[in-house]
């Protein structure tokens, strides 16, 4: 089975910061007026089937996305039902959603995941952590993603897609249906006892200190329901709205940097420095249900690229 660790075990506390950085200098004289050509595409993920207490945490490969060499201007997503109405958080908790770019060899059968290559954002984390382009959870609903002119996030640049590969996108949605559950807050905090989970995805016993987290609410598990509660199954979708326009030379390309406040640079003798993202050990263990307010600081050094005048 595909094992991806895109998300922090404690997403809620280890919230990543999304930063957009322009990667070229530009002269204001050359700016165009691209807003006239902005297109809006609305797509839906494959259907997400839930029932009272059920968890869905699935990866949908090769989802719809505007094709070609384009500039992204915004990306917004929400959970909707079959009539396209937004689903109240009280009924379905959207733990997180992520959209991830990847390259797939052309010579494989449709949607075969062998030899695909994930294309991370420009942030400093490494390996499989925080590789998404966009992604949010319930706590960050309504966050604006609009990018002002003359900037745009460049995707689909043919010169950046390796020969023999296609650029594709995958979406991961983790949602918890909390209708009829005994302890709503406990369910959305993924408390292990409510899910009756004692082992991780690899079948290893969880540490007795691990009281809750993503390991305890994997795909297809059920949170404890009120005795005798019965409710209908429901079908939901992640509806996502992408604003974009065809690439042109007036766009100033932006890069996405997803940074992690727990990131520690590990400089070992002789080795190349390695970013250790999602080191949740810096957080104090919080009791289930305890309200947490904490501030962490991290220092990240960006290298300034020389401008063409300095080269
Ligand atoms: C696809 O092409 C690559 C590179 O030429 C090759 O290594 C791989 O085995 C091919 N896969 C299939 C399914 O033909
Ligand atoms: C995917 O491709 C690999 C190599 O080409 C092959 O061995 C495997 O059976 C394919 N898997 C599926 C689900 O088609
Ligand atoms: C909890 O899991 C154990 C072992 O997997 C099982 O024996 C037990 O019936 C489960 N309890 C509930 C309420 O599902
Ligand atoms: C969850 O159930 C669906 C439908 O039975 C199945 O396709 C999927 O593989 C299951 N997920 C996991 C992680 O086992
Ligand atoms: C830092 O890297 C070294 C060498 O790869 C490794 O042995 C060590 O465990 C790492 N330290 C931390 C805190 O991850």
Q: What is the 3-state secondary structure (H, E, C) of 197-216?
A: CCECCCCCECCCCCCECHHH
Of 220, 222, 235, the one to substitute when testing ligand 4's pocket (max ligand atoms within 8 A of C-beta) is 220
261: left (phi over 0), alpha (psi -120 to 50) or beta: alpha
Instruction: Return the SS3 of 51.
Output: coil
Per-residue pLDDT of the chain (311 residues; tens, 9 = 90+): 333 444 433 333 333 445 555 544 444 444 555 555 899 999 999 999 999 999 999 999 999 999 999 999 999 999 999 999 999 888 999 999 999 999 999 998 888 898 999 999 988 888 888 888 988 877 667 778 899 999 999 999 999 999 999 999 999 999 999 999 999 999 999 999 999 999 988 999 998 888 888 899 999 999 999 999 999 999 999 999 999 999 998 899 999 988 887 777 888 888 888 888 876 654 555 555 566 666 777 777 777 766 666 65
How do beta strands 151-155 and 252-259 pair?
parallel
pLDDT score of 71: 96
- Going along the chain, which residue ranges are E strands? 17-22, 39-44, 48-50, 55-60, 70-80, 92-105, 117-119, 134-136, 151-155, 165-177, 234-246, 252-259, 264-266, 274-276
Protein residue whose Cα sits closest to atom 6 of ligand 2: 114
Instruction: Return the SS3 of 74.
Output: strand
Structure tokens at 267: 């400089």
User: Closest-lying ligand to the alpha carbon of 182?
Assistant: 3
Q: Collect all residues with Cβ–Cβ distance below 8 Å to 170 and sequence separation of at least 6.
A: 59, 60, 61, 62, 63, 99, 100, 102
**Greatest Cα pair distance in the chain:** 72
Protein residue whose Cα sits closest to atom 11 of ligand 4: 219
- Residues in the ligand 5 pocket, defined by CB under 6 Å: 266, 268, 271, 276
Q: Are 153 and 71 in contact (CB under 8 A)?
A: yes
Long-range CB contact pairs, 58-61, < 8 A, 24+: 58/172, 58/173, 58/219, 59/2, 59/4, 59/170, 59/171, 59/172, 60/170, 60/171, 60/172, 60/173, 61/111, 61/113, 61/168, 61/170
pLDDT score of 14: 35
Structure tokens at 272: 């190349």
Protein residue whose Cα sits closest to atom 13 of ligand 1: 108
Q: Are 194 and 108 in contact (CB under 8 A)?
A: no
Q: Are 84 and 78 in contact (CB under 8 A)?
A: no
User: Closest-lying ligand to the alpha carbon of 222?
Assistant: 3
Q: Are 257 and 123 in contact (CB under 8 A)?
A: yes
Of 109, 112, 115, the one to substitute when testing ligand 1's pocket (max ligand atoms within 8 A of C-beta) is 115
Question: Is 137 close to ligand 1, i.e. is its CB under 6 Å away?
Answer: no
CATH 1.10.150.20 describes domain 17-27+34-183+233-282: no
Rounded distance between C-alpha atoms, residue 134 and residue 145, angstroms: 9
Protein residue whose Cα sits closest to atom 6 of ligand 4: 220
Counting from 1 in the atom list of ligand 1, the atom nearest the Cα of 105 is: 1
pLDDT score of 36: 59
pLDDT score of 201: 87
In degrees, rounded to 5, the angle at the alpha carbon of residue 257 between the alpha carbons of residues 62 and 284 is 105
201 CA → ligand 2 middle, Å: 23
62 CA → ligand 1 middle, Å: 19
Structure tokens at 266: 């590990």
Domain assignments of the chain as residue spans, ordered by start? 17-27+34-183+233-282
- Residues in the ligand 4 pocket, defined by CB under 6 Å: 219-220
- Residues in the ligand 2 pocket, defined by CB under 6 Å: 108-109, 112, 114
pLDDT score of 56: 97
Rounded distance between C-alpha atoms, residue 130 and residue 153, angstroms: 18
Name the nearest CA neighbour of 9 among 299, 209, 224, 245: 209
Chain-centre distance for alpha carbon 97: 5
Ordered alpha helix ranges (H), the chain: 184-188, 192-195
């Amino acid at each position: 089975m595909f094992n991806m660790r895109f998300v922090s075990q404690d997403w809620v506390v280890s919230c990543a910061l999304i930063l957009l950085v322009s990667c070229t200098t530009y002269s204001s004289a050359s700016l165009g007026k691209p807003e006239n050509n902005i297109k809006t595409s609305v797509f839906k993920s494959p259907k997400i089937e839930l029932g009272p207490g059920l968890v869905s945490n699935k990866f949908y490969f090769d989802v719809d996305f505007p094709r070609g060499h384009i500039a992204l201007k915004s990306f917004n997503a929400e959970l909707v039902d079959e009539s396209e109405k937004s689903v109240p958080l009280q009924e379905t908790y959207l733990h997180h959603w992520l959209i991830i770019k990847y390259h797939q060899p052309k010579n494989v059968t449709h949607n075969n995941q062998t030899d695909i290559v994930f294309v991370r954002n420009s942030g400093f984390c490494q390996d499989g952590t925080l590789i998404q382009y966009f992604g949010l959870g319930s706590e960050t609903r309504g966050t604006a993603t609009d990018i002002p002119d003359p900037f745009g996030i460049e995707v689909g640049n043919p010169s950046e897609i390796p020969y023999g590969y296609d650029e594709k996108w995958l979406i991961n949605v983790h949602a918890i249906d909390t209708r009829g559950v005994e302890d709503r807050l406990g369910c959305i905090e993924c408390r292990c006892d409510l899910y009756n989970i004692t082992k991780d995805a690899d079948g290893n016993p969880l540490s007795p200190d691990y009281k809750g987290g993503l390991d305890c609410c994997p795909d297809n598990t059920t949170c404890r329901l009120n005795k005798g509660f019965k409710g209908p199954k429901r079908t939901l979708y992640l509806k996502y709205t992408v604003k974009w326009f065809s690439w042109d030379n007036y766009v100033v390309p932006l890069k996405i940097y997803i940074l992690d406040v727990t990131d520690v640079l590990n400089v070992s003798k002789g080795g190349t420095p390695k970013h250790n993202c999602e080191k949740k050990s810096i957080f104090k263990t919080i009791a289930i249900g305890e309200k947490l307010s904490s501030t962490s600081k991290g220092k990240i050094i960006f290298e300034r690229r020389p401008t063409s005048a300095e080269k």
